[in-house]
Each structure stands twice: as C-alpha cells, then as structure tokens.
Amino acid sequence: MFVDVPGGCLAYDSVGEGPLVVCVPGLGDTREAYRFLRPPLVEAGYQVVTMDLRGHGESSAGWDDYSQSAVGGDIVALLEELDAPAAVLLGNSYAGGGIVRAAAEAPERVAGIVPIDGFIRAVPLNVAVRALVRLIASSPRLWSLYYAMAHQTAKPDDLADHRAKLVAMLRDPERHEAMRTMLLNREPDAEQAIAQVRCPALVLMGAKDPDFPDPAAEAQTQASLLRGQAVVIDNAGHYPMSEFPERTAEALLPFLKNVF
C-alpha cells in the first residue's frame, strides 16, 4: 500500500486488528526490519503498520529533504491516511528522531513513542568514528558489513538474505544518496522538539549498541529528556527487534497495554 505526500509516496503494510502500532525502520533499512517483532504484536491484539522511509524500500526516491523533521511529517501523513485513533510509534535509529518530531507535530494522533536505539539528540563522535561513518556512507557493501556487525550477539537466520536486499536497494544512486544524507546528518533536529512531546515514552536500547559510547547511559538520558522509562536489552546491538524480538516484545507489550 502507498500514501501520497508532497514530493513522492510512502510504502507501508498493515497486519492485524486492534490499537495501532506504527513501526518505522532506521536509515539504510526497510520495513522488513520489523519482520520478527510484528507477529507477537499482532498476536497480542494490535494492528501493526510498518512503513518504508522516504528514499528507501518501496517508497519513492529523489526527495530534496531527508531530515528527521521530514520523516516526522511523513509519519503524520501516514497517520492521517489511516485515520485511526492515536497510535504508538516505534522508530529505530534515525527514525527515533522522526517519531519524536511526529509526536510534537501531531500530539492528538500519537498515544506514545518508543525510540529503539534512536538518535534523538546529537551524540559527540571522535575523529576516528566520524571518519568511519563517512566511509560506511560511501559504499552499500560497507553498509552491509556494518549492519551485520551491529547485530552484536544473535544474528537472525535470514540476516545474509536481508543484507543482500539492502545492498541491492542501495545500488540505486538515489536510494544510496538518501541513506548517505541521513547517515551524515550529525545534527538531529529531533532534539529541538523533545520539550514539546507530552505522550508516554519508552526508550529501548541494546546494551552492546556500537553506535553509542555508553548505551545504557544514553538510554537513561533519553528517558529523562522524554520523561519516560528506559529498558536496556542485554547483549543486543543496534537492532534488538531483529536480534532479540522476544525480549523486545516483552519490554514493549506492558507499555502498550498501559498506553491503550
């Protein structure tokens, strides 16, 4: 399914019935990032909508804005298209900032937010790490290697196939540019909107996330800023929803029950 927005269209899937949970993947990924988390949420009685970021997956490419603010606007457009009661938004990595922006922009449509290893504020990087980020941004193959490494402990059986699909996607120059632009954005504009978020928040973080100097401390900082709670998932890297989907669901389901 697709929703039209100014500048292009966004691809999404919808499964299940019940209160709405919208899942947004990180940069360089597709909505299939939630392929293992979706079944337990549907089984628990939720409608689960997964969407592709602009310039990724089956969404259109060639956008002139790849900011977190733009991603937040896309999420709001999808919520308007679905015309459902207020939803809980899940956002991994770069999309963590997107769901913060959406919650600030359309509070009447957002019942809660769950950043998953999300970049919702600027995190200082040393010179070596900045150089590595630029290198990864230059090559779909290097992005694929990072993606495997970021699954720190439990690698899904289909990880090689999923990585191959990501490489194929990023061989398209416009989609590679979308990923590259997001990855090199070192000033997440979500930070400007945090104070406007009034809905409940749950911060999920992998204890071994290589993207943060101290993942547990970052989770607590984000939870404090959002006036929410934090859950750190032992042994998980940057993608706990595909590395440890059962543990991720165990942390998420009580939050959803309280929100709805």
Determine the 3-state secondary structure of 57 from DSSP.
Answer: coil
- Which pLDDT belongs to residue 134? 84
User: What are the tens digits of pLDDT across the range 193-233?
Assistant: 999 999 999 999 999 999 999 999 999 999 999 999 999 99
pLDDT of residue 126: 56
- CATH number for the region 2-259 comes to 3.40.50.1820
pLDDT at 127: 55
Residue 42 CA to residue 94 CA, distance in Å, equals: 25
pLDDT the model gives residue 182: 94
| SS3 labels along 205-247 | EECCCCCCCCHHHHHHHHHHHHCCEEEEECCCCCCHHHHCHHH
- Do 22 and 79 form a contact (C-beta atoms < 8 A)? yes
Which helix H or strand E contains 22, and what residues bound it? strand 20-24
Q: What is the pTM of this model?
A: 0.96
Helix (H) or strand (E) holding 73: helix 68-82
More confident residue, 253 or 184: 253
Give me the chain's average pLDDT, please.
95
Q: Place 129 in a pLDDT band, splitting at 50, 70 and 90.
A: low
User: What is the pLDDT averaged over residues 133-148?
Assistant: 91
Q: Is residue 132 over pLDDT 80?
A: no
Question: In percent, how much of the chain has pLDDT > 70?
Answer: 97
Q: Supply the pLDDT for residue 84.
A: 85
Q: Which residues are registered as beta bridge partners of 92?
A: 116
Residue 49 has pLDDT above 80, yes or no: yes
DSSP letter at 121? S
pLDDT over 70 at 245, yes or no: yes
Q: Give 90-125 pLDDT, tens digit per residue.
A: 999 999 999 999 999 999 999 999 999 999 998 876
Averaged pLDDT, 53-75: 97
pLDDT at 125: 67
